[in-house]
Chain A
Amino acid sequence: MSEAIRLSEYPRAKRIDERQPPELRFSERAVQELERIKRHYPNKRAAMLPALWIAQREYGGHLPPEALMEVAYRLGTSYAVVEGVATFYTMYNKRPVGRVMLEVCTNLTCSICGGYEILRHLEEKLGIRAGETTPDGQFTLVEVECLNDCGNAPVMQVGNRYFGRLTPEKVDALLEELKNSEEHTVVQLADTIVQCHLSESERQDIERALAKAQAGSGGQDGQNG
């Protein structure tokens, strides 16, 4: 029988009860941040992009389905809509990634200036192919399009920083540095972006609120939602 006629080979689609709130894992800080960011927009759904960044940070660098559900619930929209947005943008990681993400540009300028050599070098050095993660979960290597820093080609983005005019030697040194550093990680990038969405006074507010909650800990369990 034609492939098109056989339906039974697919497992039955799982059903989700939308009336059941999903499991919520945002930290108190995340809740506070989202609360404030929501106020920047005419409706809370418009806060979807920063909310996804918060989620990416809270869920350790990528967005598992549970993270999408939590964001949908907190913004009062459907799971599918959030998944649609999250999958539209490439900087939201839908699959687990390493602690640090190495995004090597191989677009026109960079490839002329040796972008592919950098990529190959990294592949060899880390023992993985572009798109893969090292077994120890340290690095994920990705090939990306123009990072808009052609003047410094070849360029690589690592978390919240660009590294340009790369040579294999520079890359080696950088790898050593990154291994032992808390800087430029995937989670840190997410946090940097979240902080960009908050004003100085909002950030102070959050600190105060958190300190207060800390002081009276065990009492109020924050304003969820």
Chain B
Amino acid sequence: MAEQELVTIEINGIELQVPKGEMIIESAKRIGVDIPFFCYHPRLGKEQAANCRMCLVEAGTKQPDGSVRMMPKPQTSCTLPASQGLVVFTDTVAIQKARRGILEFLLINHPLDCPICDRGGECPLQNNTLFYGPGVSRFVEEKRHLPKAFPISDYVVLDRERCIHCARCTRFSQEISGDAQLEFLKRGADTMVSTFQNTEFTSRFSGNTIELCPVGALTSRVYRFRARPWDMKSQKSICTRCSNGCNIWLDYRPNRLVRVLGRENEAVNEEWTCDRGKFGHEYISSDRRLLSPLVRRDNRFVTASWVEVYQLIASRIRQAVEERGAGAVGAIGGAHLSNEEAYLLQKLMRVAVGTNNIDHRLERNQVAGGDTLLARLGVPFTQTAIADIEKAKTIFIFGADLVDEQPIVFLRARKAWFRFGAKVIIAHPEPTETELRFDEPLVLRYRAGTETTLINGLSHLILQSGRAVTDGISLEELQASLSEYTPARVAQETGVAEDALREAANLLGEGTVILCAGRVRNHPEYAVLANALVNLTLLTGNGSRGNGGLNILLPEVNSHGAADMGVLPDLLPGYVPVNDREARERIERIWKASLPAEPGLSTQGMLEAAAEGKLQVLYVIGEDIAQKYHDPELAQRALENAGFVIVQDLFLTDTAQYADVVLPAASVAEKEGTFTNTERRVQRFWKAMNPPSPDVKPDLNIFAELAVYLGKPLPVFSAEQVMEEIGQVFPAYAECCYDQMPAEGVRWMPTLTDRGK
């Protein structure tokens, strides 16, 4: 980007240089001058609304003769751009009076019910009134009355009396989330915020409006009356509800999580969270959490001590290994574990048990890192950093209802369009909510099952147009292999009109970001489709440079990390094939142990083996496979017929009902570690609370202790130490040592092949 032009301005007599055009409300922060505000929010709007008038300042411009010519009236500093010679006063008598006037005005219809208002204690209106407001009001008339505590959804409660009409919530819903479900009705003194006809506020980002509201007009139905801000402690954490890795604050009282707030990370979620994240961590403080280990006796679960269960597990594993070999033991899980835990889990299985039967994937295709994308693009799953999505020239959402599947990635995609004018193509067999959030995107409504044809058809059109780029790909060969995908045929097969195909092909080019999710991961012919997508990526010139690229977004919080850590039957940490002798030996030297050289069983393989009674011990960690496996029946049969089932989880899940031993694990709030999000960003989370019982342990401890009982201790004592070891085994993680990790986390860079970006 070009160097920003600097201008010299003066605030309260202090001279400073700021970028030209910066709003004075921001410039003032640079020298610690406090300007009160309500409606200003730097992320909202191409332009600020400037309707609360709280941020007034006096301003003028320096004249050539050195005098200052003041503007006749106070200016709103949230819309006053810095220009050369601007002189600003933020605390004159006139401004003090103006602020008192504004606050008195805003409070005319305000109910002042702070004692029963959830915002009390962290309320900008309360604070500004205290610091800048008048002591008394001259307004003695009846205030306006409207229904109080009106629930507009399961999450949000609206109190229209408290609203100061700052338009933050309405701007958010129109500009950021794009659902435009909140709007001002009526005008003047009757103005009120509402959904259409008071129908349900179904936005997937509704929780953000609660945080944005500078008063207690929008409050959380979940957090309602649970705590006062001063009763709570906060800890930095990472949301566990999808693979995006949003940064969040966990606000908790002793041993009880009361709410989740968005935490700023420019690289990931800016400051937003989706409702799944904001309201979906209640499980942490559920009373149904497991509190101690359980073993099955006479078909009932009885509590047991950790020593007992460790001894039992160790003896059953040893027995299995002796009778049938290490291949009779298998472990499923990892996508919900931290990197450190996932790493230790696979090390436990490989070193202490001696098997490669380990897998974290529950989806049908069990897409692994070692597949098409890694081989041809040099990245396991995603090429584009989340923050770079907004720089895209074209966004191609392929087979995904992005709002639902990857809400925060969706916000970036929408920003690319709304703020920066990217073109948008949405291909999906059914109408999706995502389509409604863009103005007339190009929609390709293909017939389900014709995904590969569609992509090949687009590639074909680009090849024909002569715009194709040679980027690690032979255009002649491709041309030959795609020659049959003529627009006419593709249109006929996919049901997408030829014109639309051509229009789409024209929009695809350098700077195209392709976003795919579940439908692509689970496609019956994933490998073929992935190849087609890679071809399209390469020939549009997005293979190795620029911000464009192919992104297959992942399902779970640490799906990426589990793959990185080698919770896969055929790959060691760092995508090292188990049967690559040289590479394996390097890891053996670090671990001072010998490793099995044969690839183990995948989840599907393990479940099939278990269903046939061939698996003596099945260890399931943090996954409710009886419910969530894509083929739940197979999982249930496997759990029934496995010799010995160990389930490690927070709850007595359906899977745990089949267990012989249940191990209670700590939640994300009760331990520390790192997760790797879908764009390869390794981010730390910290321990907030103690586990609900002293017998609940972090998974890391369980793996480490179990190894001791198996006679092969893994000498580590903390997550931090494990991360150091990970850095040795998989050098891409070397920068992730806890003491070096920057606040934004580390997006590890693939050095796996010569490609990758």
**Is A116 an interface position by the 8 A CB rule?**
no
Contact with B along A30-52 (1 / 0, CB 8 A): 00000000000001000000000
B4-12, B59-67, B246-254, B432-440: which one contacts chain A? B432-440
Give Cα A211–Cα B305 distance, bound, in whole angstroms: 87
Give B680 Cβ to nearest chain A Cβ, in Å: 33
Q: Do B181 and A15 touch across chains, with their CB atoms under 8 A apart?
A: no
Q: Chain A residues near B84: list those with CB within 8 A.
A: none
Q: Chain B residues near A80: list those with CB within 8 A.
A: 180-183, 194-196
Contact with A along B433-453 (1 / 0, CB 8 A): 100100110000000000000
Q: Do A2 and B197 touch across chains, with their CB atoms under 8 A apart?
A: no
Give Cα A83–Cα B186 distance, bound, in whole angstroms: 9
Give Cα A207–Cα B153 distance, bound, in whole angstroms: 47
**28 A–B pairs (Cβ distance < 8 Å), ordered by A:** A2-B116, A4-B116, A4-B148, A4-B159, A5-B225, A7-B149, A7-B151, A7-B157, A7-B221, A12-B151, A13-B199, A14-B198, A15-B199, A15-B202, A65-B197, A76-B440, A77-B180, A78-B180, A80-B180, A80-B182, A80-B196, A81-B174, A81-B180, A83-B185, A83-B197, A84-B185, A88-B184, A88-B186
Q: A10's contact among B147, B186, B194, by CB below 8 Å, is which?
A: B147
Q: Do B187 and A88 touch across chains, with their CB atoms under 8 A apart?
A: yes
Contact residues, B407-453 vs A (CB, 8 A): 431-433, 436, 439-440
Q: Do B150 and A10 touch across chains, with their CB atoms under 8 A apart?
A: yes
Q: Do B152 and A13 touch across chains, with their CB atoms under 8 A apart?
A: yes
**Is B37 an interface position by the 8 A CB rule?**
no
Q: Chain B residues near A12: list those with CB within 8 A.
A: 151, 200
Contact with B along A56-81 (1 / 0, CB 8 A): 00000000010011000000111111
Give B219 Cβ to nearest chain A Cβ, in Å: 10
- B156 nearest in chain A by CB position: A13
Q: A16's contact among B151, B184, B187, B200, by CB below 8 Å, is which?
A: B200
Known: A4-B148, A5-B149, A80-B196. 16 other contacts (CB 8 A): A3-B148, A4-B113, A4-B149, A7-B151, A12-B151, A13-B153, A14-B198, A14-B200, A15-B199, A43-B439, A77-B180, A78-B179, A79-B196, A81-B174, A83-B197, A87-B187
Q: Chain A residues near B149: list those with CB within 8 A.
A: 3-7
Q: A83's contact among B113, B148, B196, by CB below 8 Å, is which?
A: B196
Q: Chain A residues near B202: list those with CB within 8 A.
A: 15-16, 18
Q: Do B433 and A19 touch across chains, with their CB atoms under 8 A apart?
A: yes
- A65 nearest in chain B by CB position: B197
Give Cα A68–Cα B184 distance, bound, in whole angstroms: 15
- A79 nearest in chain B by CB position: B196
Q: Chain B residues near A68: list those with CB within 8 A.
A: 196
Give A119 Cβ to nearest chain B Cβ, in Å: 22
- A88 nearest in chain B by CB position: B187
| Most chain B CB atoms below 10 A, which of A69, A76, A84 | A84
Q: Chain A residues near B198: list those with CB within 8 A.
A: 13-14
Interface of B is mostly: loop
Give Cα A188–Cα B436 distance, bound, in whole angstroms: 35
Q: Chain B: how many interface residues by the 8 Å CB criterion?
A: 38
Nearest 5 interchain pairs by C-beta? A78-B180, A79-B196, A84-B183, A80-B183, A13-B200
Q: Chain B residues near A81: list those with CB within 8 A.
A: 174, 180, 183
Give Cα A67–Cα B149 distance, bound, in whole angstroms: 29
Give B443 Cβ to nearest chain A Cβ, in Å: 13
Interface residues of A (CB under 8 A from B): 2-7, 10, 12-16, 18-19, 43, 65, 68-69, 76-81, 83-84, 87-88
Give Cα A42–Cα B113 distance, bound, in whole angstroms: 46
Q: Do B151 and A15 touch across chains, with their CB atoms under 8 A apart?
A: no
Give Cα A130–Cα B153 distance, bound, in whole angstroms: 37
| Most chain A CB atoms below 10 A, which of B116, B179, B183 | B183
Q: Chain A residues near B183: list those with CB within 8 A.
A: 78, 80-81, 83-84
Give A200 Cβ to nearest chain B Cβ, in Å: 30
Give Cα A69–Cα B197 distance, bound, in whole angstroms: 11
Give A70 Cβ to nearest chain B Cβ, in Å: 13
- B178 nearest in chain A by CB position: A78
Contact with A along B149-190 (1 / 0, CB 8 A): 111110001010000000000000010000111111111000
**Is B733 an interface position by the 8 A CB rule?**
no
Q: Do B174 and A13 touch across chains, with their CB atoms under 8 A apart?
A: no
Give A213 Cβ to nearest chain B Cβ, in Å: 25
- A82 nearest in chain B by CB position: B196
Give Cα A6–Cα B149 distance, bound, in whole angstroms: 8
Give A49 Cβ to nearest chain B Cβ, in Å: 15
Give B222 Cβ to nearest chain A Cβ, in Å: 12
Give B251 Cβ to nearest chain A Cβ, in Å: 21
Give A114 Cβ to nearest chain B Cβ, in Å: 28
Q: Do B116 and A78 touch across chains, with their CB atoms under 8 A apart?
A: no
Give A31 Cβ to nearest chain B Cβ, in Å: 18
Give Cα A77–Cα B182 distance, bound, in whole angstroms: 12
Q: B151's contact among A10, A65, A77, A87, by CB below 8 Å, is which?
A: A10
Give Cα A37–Cα B152 distance, bound, in whole angstroms: 35
Q: A84's contact among B157, B184, B199, by CB below 8 Å, is which?
A: B184
Give B83 Cβ to nearest chain A Cβ, in Å: 30
Contact residues, B583-634 vs A (CB, 8 A): none
- A21 nearest in chain B by CB position: B431
Give Cα A69–Cα B157 distance, bound, in whole angstroms: 24
